[in-house]
Structure 1
Amino acid sequence: MAQKDTVKSILNAAEELFSERGFAETSLRNITTKAGVNLAAVNYHFGSKKSLIQAVFARFLTPFCEDLEQELDAVQAQLDGHVPQLPGLLMLLSQTALRAGHDSPRRLGIFMRLLGLAYTQGQGHLRRFLQKEYGPVFKTFMRLVTAATPELSDEDRFWRIHFMLGATVFTLSGADSLTAMAEHDLGKGSDIAQVVDKLIPFLASGLNAPHQAG
């Protein structure tokens, strides 16, 4: 097997197993068995399980963030002093993510499951890696979101962004099941892009909802 094919096989196996079982529950032996390679190949190409986890995320996030950075630069150039619109920013983010996963219809859903696991399974090394490698582009995005939601306090915006992330992870990681349920209950099929179109107005409304004093 060529080196390029070996790396791809390892990443494919790791991505799928991590998303199904979690990071701690997936051993390197599980991954090598599924990928059809030996442990030496994993150690040679990645060095450690932590590095392999980071590589799985990088495979999706690097092209995604490169594309997103260009899109955000274009948005900022066109604003000309005007306030950005939240639905447009969320749609830009989602469409960029869909393009990043265009090579596999399941890729975006798998990545969203992995993202959810990154925040629930104590993967501190992964969060540090994501912040270091991709923090600047997401800071740019958040500056635009802040400008689009001037009425929100920093505290409200923090919580609503994370609620929004939770809803997005739940929806897109289970998009196959949701679309099957919708087809059964409503008699109407849909794909992940159509699910995103339905999700964006919900997220924008939630993020912009009036503050309720306690």
Structure 2
Amino acid sequence: MAQSDTVVRILDTAEALFAEKGFAETSLRAITSRAKVNLAAVNYHFGSKKALIQAVFARYLDPFCEEFNQELAILEKKSEVSLEELLEVLARCTISVPATKGSLSVFMRLLGLAYTQAQGHMRRYLQEHYGQTFLRFTNLLKLSSADLPDAERFWRIHFMLGAVVFTMSSLDALRDIALSDYDEKTRIADLVARLLPVVTAAMQAPVPEQPELVKQ
């Protein structure tokens, strides 16, 4: 269902301010002032600041998960799925979600904030609404990286996500540096093509010896 101009304007403004200032530091008054709407409009369409934050995420994650689940269903029918194939599907779905110019990097910044700021409700929301998709992905990832101990795989998944979130959230700055220092114009697809082998190699790296725990 098409969203009203008012809803889109609120979401666009909230997204930009959350990414710029953080969730806690952005007030509804700041959002309504920049969006040129009154507080009643926000309350009517969203009900609360928490619900508005969740709606900002949903307009990216809903179409992403719809496409990603379709791709995962195809992979699940295969007798064997390589790590490279699985991560390529993830990358393709991530960059294919319809979005305005620059919004992918903004969303990645928001995703990082959801885990680094005290947003317990956001983590619960992500788990409740998108946890099943993440579980399907991690199940396939486990099959394609069977040599890794479960604890090591847990850390590597989050190292991988950290690299992706940092790179994509810094997209504009990195492309400016590449253009200035190396005279290289970089498309998102080019960047992803470079990033994929790096995160794949990180997932496939030998398991290091675990250091002895220091007793406190």
- TM-score category by the smaller chain? over 0.9
Distance 2:3 2:72 in 1: 35
Task: Tell me whether 1:93 sits opposite 2:79 in the alignment.
Answer: no
Aligned in 2, Cα 1:174/1:3: closer, same or farther, shift over 3 Å?
Answer: closer
Distance 2:208 2:101 in 1: 39
- Residue 3 of structure 1 deviates from its aligned partner by 6.9
Distance 1:5 1:152 in 2: 49
Distance 2:206 2:134 in 1: 25
Q: 2:195 aligns with which of 173, 188, 199?
A: 199
Distance 1:138 1:212 in 2: 26
**Aligned structure 1 segments of 4 or more residues deviating by more than 3 angstroms:** none
Aligned in 2, Cα 1:211/1:48: closer, same or farther, shift over 3 Å?
Answer: same
Distance 2:34 2:203 in 1: 41
Name the counterpart of 2:64. Answer: 64
Letter in 2 for 1:89: L
Letter in 2 for 1:176: D
Deviation track 1:33-84 (CA, whole Å, cap 9, x = no partner) reads 111100000000000000000000001000100110001111222x1x22x1
Name the counterpart of 1:141. Answer: 137
Deviation track 1:138-166 (CA, whole Å, cap 9, x = no partner) reads 10011000000000001100111111111
Letter in 2 for 1:61: L
- Residue 103 of structure 1 deviates from its aligned partner by 3.1
Name the counterpart of 2:178. Answer: 182
What is the TM-score with the length of structure 2 in the denominator? 0.94
Distance 1:177 1:3 in 2: 31
Distance 1:3 1:163 in 2: 36
- Residue 105 of structure 1 deviates from its aligned partner by 2.5
Aligned in 2, Cα 1:3/1:40: closer, same or farther, shift over 3 Å?
Answer: farther
Distance 2:129 2:103 in 1: 21
Structure 2: state its 5+ residue gaps: 211-216
Distance 2:48 2:197 in 1: 41
Task: Tell me whether 1:130 sits opposite 2:126 in the alignment.
Answer: yes
- Residue 185 of structure 1 deviates from its aligned partner by 1.6
User: Number of matched residues?
Assistant: 209
Secondary structure of the structure 2 residue equivalent to 1:103 = coil
Distance 2:93 2:3 in 1: 29
Output aligned runs, 1:1-214, within 5 Å.
4-77=4-77, 79=78, 81-82=79-80, 84-100=81-97, 102-214=98-210
- Residue 188 of structure 1 deviates from its aligned partner by 1.2
Distance 1:34 1:86 in 2: 44
Distance 1:103 1:113 in 2: 15
Distance 2:87 2:103 in 1: 19
Secondary structure of the structure 2 residue equivalent to 1:119 = helix
What is the TM-score with the length of structure 1 in the denominator? 0.95
Secondary structure of the structure 2 residue equivalent to 1:196 = helix
